[in-house]
Amino acid sequence: MIRVKFENVTKYYTLLNTGGIKNFILNFFREYKKIKSNRFLALENISFEVKDKDVVGIIGKNGAGKSTTLGLIAGVLKPTSGRVEVNGRIAPLLELGAGFHPDLTGRENVILNGILLGMTKKEILSKLDSIIEFSELGEFIDQPIRIYSSGMLSRLGFSVAVHTNPDILLIDEVLSVGDFKFQEKSKNKIYEFKEKGKTIIFVSHDIGMVEELCDKVILIHEHKLLYQGDVKKGVELYEQL
């Protein structure tokens, strides 16, 4: 089964620094053309497939287009041309605790965040204890999260995301959250997902971790797909860039 499929995907970002609504109305056609042409390339003609149970690392330099790729998989971005196909529930571990509200308690945020990530309320309530236990927040869970440290926030966000029972995990540089002990724990959780045969797409600059975890890499360089396949070869190519 194919989990993620990119077919000749090209992504341009539109830049919007118009002269505002006044200019836009007065010179509608000129401004409209300007907006259309004022864009920059993020990904050019990329095709790849991620099969079920694949653990894929996406590597590349800063600004190469890795996060754009994840955004396209997560469905928050739409390709300018080409096709992106995704089968299965995604757990985006992209920015932990996206949408947390500082004035709500940890528990309230878990419920809200869980729903935003695609769980029904019933599902969350049944997993609530396990989420709280995994986050190791103890009695802090009923405090407003504005008093949390950044490590505590990430732990909570990570906890919710891994409890969504995903088919596909998208991980973007988030394994360095919390203290040493929690980092170990979150890594173990990821390996647990791997053993369970989940599909994992992993973006990281931690090449050691990529080599350790992934069975396959995709190397993106200057918005193009430079290499896909064997981890060792991919990492070698990456280090020569």
- Contacting residues toward other proteins, per CB under 8 A: 13-14, 16, 18, 20-22, 24, 71, 74-78, 90, 92, 94-95, 98-99, 101, 103-104, 108, 111-112, 115-118, 120-122
CA distances (Å), 127 to each of 10, 122, 148, 162, 177, in order?
A: 39, 9, 22, 11, 22
Nearer to other proteins (CB atom), residue 90 or residue 219: 90
Shortest reach from residue 147's CB to other proteins, in Å: 13
**Rounded CA separation 123/205 (Å):** 34
Nearer to other proteins (CB atom), residue 140 or residue 238: 140
Closest to 73 measured CA to CA, from 59, 58, 62, 63: 58
Nearer to other proteins (CB atom), residue 20 or residue 208: 20
b/e per residue, 175-188, with b = 16+ CB within 10 A? bebbeeebeeebee
**E strand or H helix at 236, and its extent?**
helix 231-240
Nearer to other proteins (CB atom), residue 20 or residue 138: 20
DSSP state of 174: -
Nearer to other proteins (CB atom), residue 77 or residue 190: 77
**C-alpha gyration radius of the chain:** 20
Nearer to other proteins (CB atom), residue 78 or residue 196: 78
Closest to 222 measured CA to CA, from 82, 62, 96: 62
Q: What angle do CA 41, 45, 46 make, to 5 degrees?
A: 105
Shortest reach from residue 2's CB to other proteins, in Å: 19
Sorted by sequence, the CB contacts under 8 Å of residue 84 that are 6+ apart come out as 4, 5, 6, 7, 9, 72, 73
Q: Which residue has the tokens 């994840």?
A: 70
Nearer to other proteins (CB atom), residue 119 or residue 217: 119
CA distances (Å), 186 to each of 25, 28, 159, 171, in order?
A: 52, 52, 9, 11
